[in-house]
């Protein structure tokens, strides 16, 4: 639906009906890119419906929940992962011990901390609780980078079929999050994951091989791969990884 200026009239989700469908992603705004609708809640059911449809929440404290589906979409196909010579040297030094699902709360809280570049504060208290629920239900996954038994980097996201939807990363030591991401992406490929959703363009992720694709193509990939089984070995690295 559009107003007299041709601008989409954004839909408000019913917060009391977690089964209520999202609007078609084609109705998302071009400016700001991908803003689709407001409202609803962060229940596990609604979040899973959102990710399956190519939609994610992103908003700040004090704002209504905003749901997004940007076009184009930044993704990484695991087989297209790029590892620079310097990063490979860091990995080979085994400076970091990388684990999966060892400290989800530590990772998401670190991702929520204010950073020097201003990122991170969009993870509100409600989002912290919502993704922790997803983790307890087996849908949200964390990857941790440890140095001398201290958590120094990591990332978290949602796993669905053969797709991993990345949400946020943090690093307290140089290259800690990159090492965690690279080893995890390599492991996902071994587990037959087809796609890592990176959401929006960042130079950091593009340097690792991520590229933008049209939203329509992204949704097609979700329709093919979200319902396919993945051999994830209970979220533990194979012995050759990590």
Residue 166 lies in a domain: yes
**Which CATH number characterizes residue 27's domain?**
3.30.70.3550
What are the tens digits of pLDDT across the range 90-112? 999 999 999 999 999 999 999 99
Contacts made by residues 130-139, CB under 8 angstroms, sequence distance 24+: 130/42, 130/43, 130/44, 130/47, 131/156, 131/167, 132/104, 132/105, 132/108, 133/44, 134/44, 134/47, 134/48, 134/158, 135/101, 135/104, 137/44, 139/44, 139/48
pLDDT at 120 over 50: no
- pLDDT band at 9, cuts 50/70/90? confident
Range of the domain at 20: 11-70
The percent of residues in the chain predicted with pLDDT above 70, rounded, is 92
Same domain? 85 vs 50? no
Amino acid 230: pLDDT: 85
- Mean of pLDDT over the chain: 92
User: Cα separation of 12 and 215, whole Å?
Assistant: 22
Same domain? 107 vs 213? yes
pTM for the full predicted model: 0.93
Same domain? 187 vs 145? yes
Same domain? 42 vs 87? no
- CA dihedral (215, 221, 223, 226) positive or negative: negative
What are the tens digits of pLDDT across the range 33-84? 999 999 999 999 999 999 999 999 999 999 999 999 999 999 999 999 999 9
Residue 239 lies in a domain: no
Amino acid 3: pLDDT: 43
Same domain? 138 vs 218? yes
CB 51 within 8 A of CB 225: no
Same domain? 90 vs 204? yes
Same domain? 37 vs 144? no
Same domain? 53 vs 165? no
Same domain? 185 vs 88? yes
What are the tens digits of pLDDT across the range 164-210? 999 999 999 999 999 999 999 999 999 999 999 999 999 999 999 99
């Amino acid at each position: 639906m559009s107003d007299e200026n041709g601008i989409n009239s954004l839909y408000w989700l019913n917060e009391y009906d977690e089964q209520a469908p999202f609007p078609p992603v084609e109705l998302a705004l071009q400016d700001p890119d991908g803003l689709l609708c407001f409202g609803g809640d962060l229940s596990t059911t609604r979040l899973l419906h959102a990710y399956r449809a190519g939609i994610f929440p992103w908003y700040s404290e004090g704002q209504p929940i905003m749901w997004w589906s940007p076009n184009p979409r930044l993704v990484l196909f695991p087989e297209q992962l790029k590892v620079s010579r310097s990063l490979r040297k860091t990995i080979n030094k085994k400076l970091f011990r990388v684990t999966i699902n060892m400290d989800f709360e530590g990772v998401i809280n670190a991702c929520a901390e204010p950073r020097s570049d201003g990122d991170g504060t969009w993870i509100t208290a409600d989002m912290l609780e919502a993704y922790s629920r997803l983790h307890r239900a087996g849908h949200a996954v964390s990857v941790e980078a440890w140095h001398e038994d201290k958590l120094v980097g990591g990332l978290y996201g949602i796993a669905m079929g053969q797709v991993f939807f990345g949400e946020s990363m943090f690093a307290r030591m140089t290259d800690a999050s990159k090492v965690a991401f690279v080893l995890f992406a390599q492991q996902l490929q071994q587990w037959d994951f087809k796609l890592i959703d990176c959401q929006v363009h960042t130079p950091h992720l593009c340097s690792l091989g991520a590229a933008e694709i049209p939203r329509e193509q992204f949704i097609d990939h979700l329709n093919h791969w979200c319902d396919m089984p993945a051999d994830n070995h209970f979220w533990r690295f194979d012995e050759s990884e990590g």
